[in-house]
Structure 1
Amino acid sequence: MILKKFKKTLYALSIFALAHSFAEASAKDNNKSYSTLETIHTFSQNTPPANIAISPTGRIFLSVHAFYGEPKYRVLEVLKDGSTKPYPSITWSSAPKEKGPGLADVLGIVADQEGILWMLDGQTEKRNGRIVGWDIKREKHFKTIILQAPTTTKNSFLNDLAIDRKHNKIYVADSSGALIIVDIESGKSRRILDNSPFTTPENINMVIDDKLVTLGGQAAKIGVNPITIDAKNEWLYFAPMSATSMYRINTKDLLNTKLSEKSLHSKVERYGDKTISDGSVVDSAGNVYITSITDDSIGVTNAMGKYQTLFQHDDISWADGFAIGADGYIYFTVNELHRSPVLNEGKRADKGEFKIMRFAPLAKAEQGR
């Protein structure tokens, strides 16, 4: 009888120990998962980062977000010690004069595999939008491409871009509700998927920290912004910021000028689920990573279309743009944009949590996006 009771007690203790060790292992796994998210650089409140670009040699560049007020310098290089300097130069990084060099309002920024830094400079009331290419190997101006009507409209908001050097094209996300295809050689451009379901926002509210995010006195509902291209330059992935779907289209269809707009619509595929998001980037296995802005997280839509959260933490307060580093890590910026005056009823309420973070992707990822 005593032996029987002892066996029962021993069995209960072993079950308890097993459950405890499983819980402890799970906690360790969770901690390990989050510990792989590293903070690389932090910035002061006068340097709110927008997007990030990383060169083939590992140089890091940032655009500075104008939602916190007009920055002194529009683009910066981040040095190894975390300090920054205006890039390409003080003159180029400053507000443009009437006909001279300079940048007005850069958001999208990408360093391609050939060593060209592409900067998407937004339009103003007096100045057309443009794409400025800078040769970061030779440190000289490469090309400027002007974006103007009918490619752009008076309401255009040139937000982000993807570079396709295989076909010598640049794809621009115009958050007013269209994509723009730009030929690098000729500078010619055309507007596609204008006011389509794939480029305009869904009727969903952006709520962060239990507060409705507003833009211009209304609930913020923003069109196409996340945009990225795979390493083979075969598929362009894109979506409205305010949407629950990620889309893609084959570049051969994008480049087929014989396709009507209606036919082009039929070539767009719904790739999978997503949340309200800002930046995006894709790895070699078709995992599309997004900066999920309403829940302080980084998520991923896999090749089966399923969405999951990879990292979630208060530290990720409005993750913005991605870049794949020369080391294979995925880097991203954090800028608390919902606390900027433009999205917070004219009041600045940020806590100064501006930074660059990184993580290892689920599959190999190549620099240039």
Structure 2
Amino acid sequence: MTRSFKLLASAAAMIATSAFSLNIAAADKVRQLEVVATLSAETPPGNIAVGSDGRIFLSIHQFYGKSLRIVELLPDGTTKPYPNENWAYAAQSRESGGLYGVLGLNIDANGILWLLDTSGPDHAGRLVGWNTKKEQLHKIIYLAKPVITDSSFLNDLAVDSKNNAIYIADTGTASIVVVDLKTGIARRVLKESMSTKAEDIDMVIDEQTIYLNGQPVRMGVNPITIDSNFEYVYYGSMSGTSLYRIATKDLLDKTLTDQALDKKVQRYGDKPISDGITMDNSGNVYVTSITSDAIGYTQANGQYKTLVQRDDVSWPDGLAVGLDNYIYGTVNELHRSPVLNNGKDGTQGEFKVVRFKALSDANTGR
């Protein structure tokens, strides 16, 4: 996260941001939010994955400096290191076990939990696949230079089970990395696309502009998901007001130049400054609003509607679909973390996993 960010937002962009001061009264379908688990300061959650068997897995957000990387959330609301003591904690060296830093995680229909282990100056990034049914390592795919750069921040991922691929949001370089799960070959795409770049807008939470490395936050592509038919990948920049989509067949087409691929991108609709995103089996696209303590969805007509909004939903982060027709999410107060709060931990004990009923009446189960 060493990218240089622009210092000031333009007045026009700030006006655009104010359009996303979401009003709960505007939501056409309000959902009751339930707290699934309240988490301790030792397990500030990042993203969330829910398996077809109902098991819930959480990444531990690295902005809080914890050595624990992954936990399983148990039915009684407690957590345990996952998958085991050797893998669940920070790697001490390239020769040791463990993980360097995981935010993105997702579980496929075969029960493979894919962990996106970030790259660093002395190590490559990795996709670590863990078989949650057999409780054993499935596969490791290394993500190294030149595809991964010194500026890379491997943030989130979408798993394409139909085409045996994974699509990674590299926030640091504002581009998408396409990984072939059969060969392990990775390609960087859309690196010059406006759809993956940060807009020049401030992130304002609790009437305070959020800074990173002394500059107002400007974050590129982060929220990324895929529909249940594996036809389209939906994504957008964290610091952005547009949600885009692109067909998987185009992302997988190696003959397309970056310019030709960029022409395949469609603007799907509006979104707020956001972190998490997911889709149910009926095609509803759920997106968090980190500046409004809210979670909503982008309708097919392009309009964004709020579904839940509460003062204690401080930085809604990851989203995932559960078997029980619920949308699950994490809350982690990230704007109060040392990285985004001048080196100080200003959290107020609002680490939690929440859920609400999906808009679809059908059982989701993806």
CA drift of 1:366 comes to: 3.3
How far off its partner does 1:354 sit?
0.4
Q: CA contact under 8 A between 1:48 and 1:354: conserved in structure 2? A: yes
Residue 94 (structure 1) aligns with: 89
Hey, what does 2:227 align to over in structure 1? 230
**Letter matched to residue 87 of structure 1:** Y
> What residue is the counterpart of 1:309 in the other structure?
306
Of the three residues 332, 335, 340, the one matched with 2:332 is 335
The 5 Å alignment of 1:320-359 reads: 320-359=317-356
| Unmatched runs of 5 consecutive residues or more in structure 1 | 1-26
> Are 2:245 and 1:248 equivalent residues in the alignment?
yes
The SS at the match of 1:262 is helix
What do the CA deviations read for 1:75-134 (whole angstroms, capped 9, x no partner)? 001111111111110110112233232101000011111100000011122111111000
1:75 paired with 2:73, answer no
Q: For residue 18 of structure 2, what is the aligned residue in structure 1? A: none
CA contact (8 A) 2:30 2:306 kept: no
Q: Which residue matches 2:204?
A: 207
| Cα offsets for 1:217-245 (capped at 9, x unmatched) | 10001000000000000010000000010
Amino acid at match of 1:340: S
Counterpart amino acid of residue 205 in structure 2: I
* 1:144 maps to which of 140, 145, 151: 140
Distance 1:87 1:286 in 2: 31
8 Å Cα contact 1:286/1:302 also seen in 2: no
1:195 alignment partner in structure 2: 192
Q: How big is each residue's C-alpha offset from its partner over 1:187-227, in whole Å with a ceiling of 9 and x where there is no partner?
A: 10000001321111000000000001001110001000000
Q: d(CA) in 2 for partners of 1:141 and 1:282?
A: 27
The answer (yes or no) to whether the contact 1:324–1:365 under 8 Å persists in 2 is: no
In the alignment, the residues of structure 2 paired with residue 309 and residue 94 of structure 1 have an alpha-carbon distance, to the nearest angstrom, of: 36
Quick one: which of 316, 333, 339 aligns to 1:319? 316
Which is worse superposed, 356-365 or 236-245? Answer: 356-365
Residue 6 of structure 1 is matched in structure 2 by: none
Q: Considering only CA atoms, is the larger Rg found in Structure 1 or Structure 2?
A: 1
| Residue 172 of structure 1: aligned partner | 168
Whole-angstrom CA distance in 1 between matches of 2:149 and 2:195:
18
Moved over 3 A (4+): 364-368
Q: Which residue of 2 is the match for residue 129 of structure 1? A: 125
Q: Following the alignment from structure 2 to structure 1, what is the Cα–Cα distance between the partners of residues 118 and 255?
A: 29
Corresponding residue SS for 2:275: strand
Give TM-score scaled by structure 1 length.
Answer: 0.89
Equivalent-residue separation in structure 2 for 1:108 and 1:174 (angstroms): 11
**Residue 286 of structure 1, CA deviation:** 2.8
From 290, 294, 297, the equivalent of 2:294 is: 297
Q: Secondary structure of 1:161's partner? A: strand
8 A Cα contact 2:323 2:363, kept in partner:
no
- C-alpha separation in 2, matches of 1:64 and 1:213: 21
Aligned residues: 339
> TM-score if structure 2 supplies the norm length?
0.90
Residue 14 of structure 2: aligned partner = none
The corresponding residue for 2:183 is 186
Q: CA deviation at 1:45?
A: 1.2
Tell me if structure 2 keeps the 8 A contact 1:231–1:366: no
Q: What is the match of residue 366 of structure 1?
A: 364
Question: Counterpart of 1:92 in structure 2: which amino acid?
Answer: W
Matched residue SS, 2:63: helix
C-alpha separation in 1, matches of 2:305 and 2:94? 48
SS of residue in 2 equivalent to 1:127 = coil
Q: Flag the structure with higher helix content.
A: 1
CA deviation after TM superposition for structure 1 residue 39, in Å: 0.5
Instruction: Pick one of 282, 287, 295 that aligns with 2:284.
Output: 287
Q: Secondary structure at the match of 1:342?
A: helix
Q: Matched residue of 2:86: which SS?
A: helix
Q: C-alpha distance in 2, partners of 1:283/1:60?
A: 17
Letter in 1 for 2:89: S
Is the deviation greater in 324-333 or in 154-163? 324-333
Q: Are 1:215 and 1:342, in contact at CA under 8 Å, matched by a contact in 2?
A: yes
Contact 2:94 2:123 in 1 (8 A): no
